[in-house]
């Protein structure tokens, strides 16, 4: 029988990559989109299907994970074989500004989907988009599936709730429900306000005289960055495993934000020199123009200083490992950005 996936958060970075991956695998893909006053399906342009076409393998539904009725109605109507919950207010810094909404969407949203699965069909498999932000102020290095959580933001706390409620419904109702604990993953489709996209886009525009300066926050936090295209494969593999389980997905390597900036600048042949310390640290180009400054607005009330994962379990059980390294990721992001500028 043809498999049918339902993706909450289909319009996001991972939603777009996962949709394309599942369509290639022969799935019919249903996605949930929010009503918006401006177009929010840009990442789906190449797979979008005319709603009046007779046969469609990609179908969109209006809904919202903060709205129980829409969640239940869509699941009842679609009757998917697999549900991927990627829907979230996913920006850590913004979660300090809108903590209540973040909790509603990122924590209770997961509960709403799980409840609907119990009501509609307990055989529906479920993937929950957990995050390395749950490790927060890390209690060990590197982090694996057994590392205790210590979240540092309303976003991280909400994701911890979702992790436990997913595990609880797995144990209580015997659902095939899995938690992916994914470390940062980026791509050309990354949201504009995440640091990698900001740096790549900013430096590409500076190189092409479209922008003079880039403002950033903490340059010294360390992240384990992978490519979103690799990570959606791991989500799917979790739901094809014999038993439901939880998996850390990462590259095992970490870099500071400053190192990431230096690598991007080198690729773009911008020679940068750093001067100053703390909030006064600045980057200058070969003509002594200041092109990067730090600004208080991009620092967070509490920071996650270091993240580095261990994907041994996923490697052993799911036969998953990342295919793209940081250099591949940067090359992909830069060539996308340069194409955008030349358009």
Nearest approach in angstroms of CB 185 to ligand NAP is 5
Residue from 30, 198, 227, 324 touching ligand GDD (CB under 6 A): that is 198
Asked if residues 246 and 145 have their Cβ atoms less than 8 Å apart, the reply is: yes
Residue from 87, 113, 117, 235 touching ligand NAP (CB under 6 A): that is 87
Q: Does residue 131 interact with ligand GDD by CB under 6 A?
A: yes
Q: What is the footprint of ligand NAP within residues 4-43 (CB under 6 A)? A: 8-15, 32, 34, 36, 40
Q: What is the DSSP letter of 44?
A: G
Nearest approach in angstroms of CB 327 to ligand GDD is 18
Closer to ligand NAP at the Cβ: 84 or 270? 84
Q: Does residue 211 interact with ligand GDD by CB under 6 A?
A: no
> What is the three-class DSSP state of 213?
coil
Q: Does residue 229 interact with ligand GDD by CB under 6 A?
A: no
d(CA 47, CA 27): 13
Nearest approach in angstroms of CB 119 to ligand GDD is 29
Structure tokens at 273: 């020199």
Residue from 88, 114, 204, 329 touching ligand NAP (CB under 6 A): that is 88
Q: Does residue 132 interact with ligand GDD by CB under 6 A?
A: yes
Residue from 28, 184, 254, 306 touching ligand GDD (CB under 6 A): that is 184
Closest-CA residue to 194 (of 341, 90, 268, 85): 90
Binding string, 93-112, against ligand NAP, x = CB under 6 A? ------------x-------
Q: Does residue 89 interact with ligand GDD by CB under 6 A?
A: no
Nearest approach in angstroms of CB 248 to ligand GDD is 11
d(CA 79, CA 3): 11
d(CA 221, CA 273): 19
**Alpha carbon separation from 110 to 51, 128, 135, 163 (Å, rounded):** 28, 8, 19, 9
With vertex at residue 68, the alpha carbon angle to CA 65 and CA 70, rounded to the nearest 5 degrees, is 75
Nearest approach in angstroms of CB 78 to ligand GDD is 26
Q: Does residue 27 interact with ligand GDD by CB under 6 A?
A: no
Closer to ligand GDD at the Cβ: 34 or 61? 34
Pairing of strands 125-131, 82-85: parallel
Asked if residues 153 and 92 have their Cβ atoms less than 8 Å apart, the reply is: yes
Closest-CA residue to 80 (of 2, 172, 165, 179): 2
Closest-CA residue to 198 (of 288, 284, 295, 303): 295
DSSP 64-79: -TT-HHHHHHHHHHH-
Q: What is the footprint of ligand GDD within residues 248-307 (CB under 6 A)? A: 257, 298, 300, 303, 307
d(CA 292, CA 296): 13
Q: Does residue 143 interact with ligand NAP by CB under 6 A?
A: no
With vertex at residue 235, the alpha carbon angle to CA 1 and CA 133, rounded to the nearest 5 degrees, is 155
Number of residues forming the site for ligand NAP (CB under 6 A): 27
Q: Does residue 21 interact with ligand GDD by CB under 6 A?
A: no
The site for ligand GDD (CB under 6 A) is made up of 90, 92-93, 131-133, 183-184, 193-195, 198, 216-218, 221, 223, 257, 298, 300, 303, 307
The site for ligand NAP (CB under 6 A) is made up of 8-15, 32, 34, 36, 40, 64-66, 86-90, 105, 129, 131, 182, 184-185, 191
């Amino acid at each position: 029988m043809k498999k049918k996936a339902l993706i909450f958060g289909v319009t996001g970075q991972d939603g777009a990559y996962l949709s394309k991956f599942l369509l290639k695998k022969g799935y019919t893909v249903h996605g949930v989109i929010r009503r918006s006053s401006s177009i929010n399906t840009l990442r789906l342009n190449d797979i979008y299907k005319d709603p009046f076409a007779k046969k469609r393998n990609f179908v969109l539904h209006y809904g919202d994970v903060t709205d129980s009725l829409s969640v239940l109605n869509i699941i009842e109507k679609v009757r998917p074989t697999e549900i991927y919950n990627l829907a979230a207010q996913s920006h850590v810094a913004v979660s300090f500004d809108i903590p209540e909404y973040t909790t509603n969407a990122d924590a209770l949203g997961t509960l709403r989907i799980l409840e609907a699965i119990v009501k509609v069909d307990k055989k529906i498999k479920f993937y929950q988009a957990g995050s390395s932000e749950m490790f927060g102020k890390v209690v060990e290095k590197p982090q694996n599936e057994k590392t205790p959580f210590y979240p540092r933001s309303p976003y991280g706390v909400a994701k911890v709730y979702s992790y436990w409620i997913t595990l609880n419904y797995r144990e209580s109702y015997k659902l095939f429900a899995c938690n992916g604990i994914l470390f940062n993953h980026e791509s050309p489709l990354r949201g504009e306000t995440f640091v990698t996209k900001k740096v790549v886009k900013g430096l590409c525009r500076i190189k092409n005289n479209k922008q003079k300066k880039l403002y950033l926050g903490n340059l010294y936090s360390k992240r384990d960055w992978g490519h979103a295209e690799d990570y959606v494969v791991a989500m799917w593999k979790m739901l094809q495993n014999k038993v439901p389980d939880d998996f850390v997905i990462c590259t095992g390597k970490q870099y500071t934000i400053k190192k990431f900036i230096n690598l991007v600048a080198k690729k773009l042949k911008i020679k940068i020199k750093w001067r100053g310390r703390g909030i006064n640290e600045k980057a200058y180009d070969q003509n002594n123009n200041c092109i990067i400054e730090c600004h208080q607005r991009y620092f967070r009330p509490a920071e996650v200083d270091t993240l580095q994962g261990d994907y041994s379990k996923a490697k052993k059980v799911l036969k998953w490992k990342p295919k793209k390294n940081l250099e591949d990721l940067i090359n992909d992001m830069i060539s996308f950005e340069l194409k955008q500028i030349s358009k």
